[in-house]
A and B are shown apart, each in its own frame.
Chain A
Amino acid sequence: AQSVTQLGSHVSVSEGALVLLRCNYSSSVPPYLFWYVQYPNQGLQLLLKYTSAATLVKGINGFEAEFKKSETSFHLTKPSAHMSDAAEYFCAVARDYKLSFGAGTTVTVRA
């Protein structure tokens, strides 16, 4: 069964610091992987997705993620955090036309 595990339910970073959110996947076949973001009182929106075209994927708002097959990981990074990055982030893996989500990581940004 395809699933994802997000390490760390809460991450606190200073404004301008690196944001690193960890996601490991379990899949018996090459996975399709996604990162979604949920801002307060909103639905989820897509940050980026991996579809095997390139291992380094760039998304919106300066985020990127690197697919590492040897580590079964798809960690999300942003070089310099902004106050507007405070949100909950979800890693997900495609199962047919459905998605299986991780538990989520809440990011707080300190001024």
Chain B
Amino acid sequence: DVKVTQSSRYLVKRTGEKVFLECVQDMDHENMFWYRQDPGLGLRLIYFSYDVKMKEKGDIPEGYSVSREKKERFSLILESASTNQTSMYLCASSRASGGYYNEQFFGPGTRLTVL
């Protein structure tokens, strides 16, 4: 059974803290993604990685950075958490070969609250 796992389901942090969200996939996928999900806004892409050590900004990268040192792991970093980063964060992965219509597989999400 294919799987994308995220390190925490729920996380509470304080303003100014450095926050790490981890994502691991076991499908040997080349592409990995970080989204944030907010009511009424759907999912918005934060960052995308198409290979180890390669990354590309998404639609809302401000205040975030990412790291991909191994193919199966993609980390989202909030350098200095702020209250407006309180949200649900979803990780996804997909194959690169075959074209633009490859299915993305999602993790269960991390609900981050910044106080």
Q: Is the CB of B42 within 8 A of A97?
A: no
The CA-CA distance from A41 to B102 in the complex, in Å, is: 24
Q: Is the CB of A43 within 8 A of B108?
A: yes
What is the size, in residues, of chain B's interface with A at 8 Å between Cβ atoms? 27
- A72-111 contact mask (Cβ, 8 Å, vs B): 1 or 0: 0000000000000000001000111111111110000000
Q: Is the CB of B90 within 8 A of A43?
A: yes
Chain A's interface: helix, strand, loop or mixed, by majority? strand
What is the size, in residues, of chain A's interface with B at 8 Å between Cβ atoms? 25
Q: Among B58, B94, B101, B108, which residue has the most Cβ atoms of chain A within 10 A?
A: B101
Q: Does A18 contact B (CB under 8 A)?
A: no
Q: Is the CB of A41 within 8 A of B108?
A: yes
Q: Which 9 A-B pairs have the closest CB atoms?
A: A43-B106, A101-B42, A32-B101, A101-B43, A94-B100, A44-B106, A103-B42, A51-B101, A46-B103
13 A-B pairs (CB sep. < 8 Å): A32-B100, A45-B106, A46-B103, A51-B99, A97-B48, A97-B96, A98-B33, A98-B48, A99-B43, A99-B104, A100-B45, A101-B35, A104-B42
